[in-house]
Structures are given as structure tokens and as C-alpha cells.
Amino acid sequence: MKNIKHSNKDTIKKLGWSFSRYDVFINCKRKYFYDYYSKFDKEISYDKIQMLKNLTSKTLIVGNTIHIIIKKLLSRYQITRKPLNINKLFQYSFNIIRKNSLNKTFFETYYNSERINLMDIYIKVKHCLYNLINSNRFKWIISNPNIIAQNSRWIIDPDGYGEAIINNYKVFCKVDFLFPLNNKIYIIDWKTGKQHKQKHKRQLIMYSLWAHKYMNTLVEDIVPKIVYLFPCYNEYTILICDEFVHDFMNLIKYETNHMYQYLTDIDNNIPKSKDNFTKTTNTFYCKYCNYRAIC
């Protein structure tokens, strides 16, 4: 599981498909330009665009904190089965929130002059953690002897960007939690935001495709699950089959080629001029966009 192959020499500079990249591309080409090609902007300084890009938000801090804590929690269960000290865990989560928010400008403050109260973020994080720890799924994972016996094979939110090659295309794909049980591979993706089953299903199919390729696992032996932690625990298992995976490989090809159309040099990932990246007409999407100040 450790020797996941990364991009080869031919694909190093090429743009890599990811679920989030194509999502931005399809929703607003201008935002996509600011997110991925800000150094090519001739009107607005790179520093200004980066500053806006790096704005954080209460939602982002909740998501990041939960992912850090769950990673820590599961890593702990790889070495010990001692019961958890919940109060310590909550205290630790508050420290992470503080650390994650330090020296950061919040979207809510920048655009709405809101004064951020870290306690509001903490309440949501605590709620998500409470839902996770009390879920039957979590109890099952940490108490099933067959899962625990293979804990050295768990993949828990690995470092890096998860660069890989699928069907000769560069992709970015990073699972939250993957573990084997008998002849099956379980993949879990934790969500703290709104439930978008159709959108998240695509993400899980991608992870399954990755596991199928890099872990030599039959498609029918992969069990991908979306887990929503807020406002209450809800999980959905995605049923996949060979046909799905095959269609998805074609989709990656189609979507990558779609993004290539906005480049003048595909091999070196050089974009066309900014005016080709049109602004969305969906004002609702703009409402939550970091780049409102320059758009």
C-alpha cells in the first residue's frame, strides 16, 4: 500500500484532474483562473489574488479540524486500544481550532466585518466528534478484531496531494480513511458540511477507481461510504460496478480534455488569456466566492 506510483516525467507539468478542480471549472471559469493560474494575471497582482485565495472561513476551519482530529484518533487506534478521554479530545480540538485560525483572515470578517468567535466553531466541531464517536460505524471499526488485526494496512488521510495516474491522465485523489476487512476494501469519506449525495458520490467513485488500480482490488470488493457528521450522523454506501468505473475513466478523460481547451500549452500547463475565463452568471455562487473584491 505504500508504493503508490506518482506521475511520470511526461505528466509532471500537466494539469491534474481532481474532483474539486473540475467542480470550480464548471461553476466559474474566472474563479478557476484565479485559483490555478493567478501568476498569469496581467491586471491584478499575484499577492492580492493569493491573499483572497487564502481567506479561510468558519466552515473550512470546522472541516480541517475534524479531519485532523479523526486522523489523530484513528492513528491512535493503530497503536493502542485504551479508552478515549473525551474531555482531553475536546480540549485538543479547541487547540487545533485556535492553531488553524491563527494569523488567518476569515471570509466572514473580510466581506461582512464579522467578529469571529472560536467558540461557535468549537461547538460545531464538538457536535461532529460526538456524532462520530457515538456512531455504530465508529464503534464497529475500533472494536472489530478483524479490522484491528490489519490496522498496519490502514490508509488515513495520507500527506501530500495524492497525485496518481489513471488511464494515462494525471489525477489528484486522497482518501480520508481506507481499511481492509476480509476480502473487502472499505473507503470512508467524512463530511461536515451540507449533504450533496450526487456530488459526493462522484468523489467516492474516484477513490474506488484509485483503490481498484493501485491496490489491485476487484471493483465488487470495494465498499465506499460517505459519512455526514452534521447535524446528525448519516452514512451512505455507494454501490459500484465495473461499468461505473469504466464510465468514470472516460469521464476523467472528457473533463481533463475540457480543461485542456483553456490552455495554450498543454504540456506546460500555460493558460489562455484571462478574458477566455468567463465569469459565472450565477450570483448565488458569487456570494460565497473569495474573489468578489476583484471581480
Catalog residues that contact ligand SF4 under the rule CB under 6 A.
Answer: 28, 30-31, 279-280, 285-286, 289, 291-292, 295
Nearer residue to ligand SF4 within complex by CB, 34 or 169:
34
With contact defined as beta carbons under 8 Å apart, do 177 and 187 qualify?
yes
Q: Taking the complex as a whole, how short is the minimal distance between the CB of residue 286 and ligand SF4, in angstroms?
A: 3
Q: Taking the complex as a whole, how short is the minimal distance between the CB of residue 292 and ligand SF4, in angstroms?
A: 5
Nearer residue to ligand SF4 within complex by CB, 90 or 111:
111
Nearer residue to ligand SF4 within complex by CB, 148 or 295:
295
Q: Which of 192, 189, 191 is nearest to 224 (CA)?
A: 189
Nearer residue to ligand SF4 within complex by CB, 27 or 95:
27
Is the backbone peptide bond immediately before 231 cis, with ω within 30 degrees of 0? yes
Nearer residue to ligand SF4 within complex by CB, 48 or 279:
279
Q: What is the largest CA-CA distance in the chain?
A: 60
Q: Taking the complex as a whole, how short is the minimal distance between the CB of residue 109 and ligand SF4, in angstroms?
A: 18
H helices of the chain, where? 19-27, 29-36, 46-53, 58-79, 86-101, 107-112, 118-133, 136-143, 145-148, 197-214, 242-260, 283-287
Q: Taking the complex as a whole, how short is the minimal distance between the CB of residue 228 and ligand SF4, in angstroms?
A: 26
With contact defined as beta carbons under 8 Å apart, do 235 and 137 qualify?
yes
Q: Taking the complex as a whole, how short is the minimal distance between the CB of residue 54 and ligand SF4, in angstroms?
A: 15
Nearer residue to ligand SF4 within complex by CB, 135 or 280:
280
Q: Taking the complex as a whole, how short is the minimal distance between the CB of residue 192 and ligand SF4, in angstroms?
A: 23
Q: Taking the complex as a whole, how short is the minimal distance between the CB of residue 62 and ligand SF4, in angstroms?
A: 22
Nearer residue to ligand SF4 within complex by CB, 173 or 289:
289
Q: Taking the complex as a whole, how short is the minimal distance between the CB of residue 166 and ligand SF4, in angstroms?
A: 29
Residue 144: other Cβ atoms inside 10 A: 12
50 Cβ contact list (under 8 Å, min separation 6): 38
266 Cβ contact list (under 8 Å, min separation 6): 14, 260
Nearer residue to ligand SF4 within complex by CB, 272 or 279:
279
Own/partner contacts of 197-205, CB < 8 Å, gap of 24 or more, are: 197/226, 197/236, 199/23, 200/226, 201/226, 201/238, 202/19, 202/248, 203/19, 204/238, 205/238, 205/240, 205/244, 205/245, 205/248
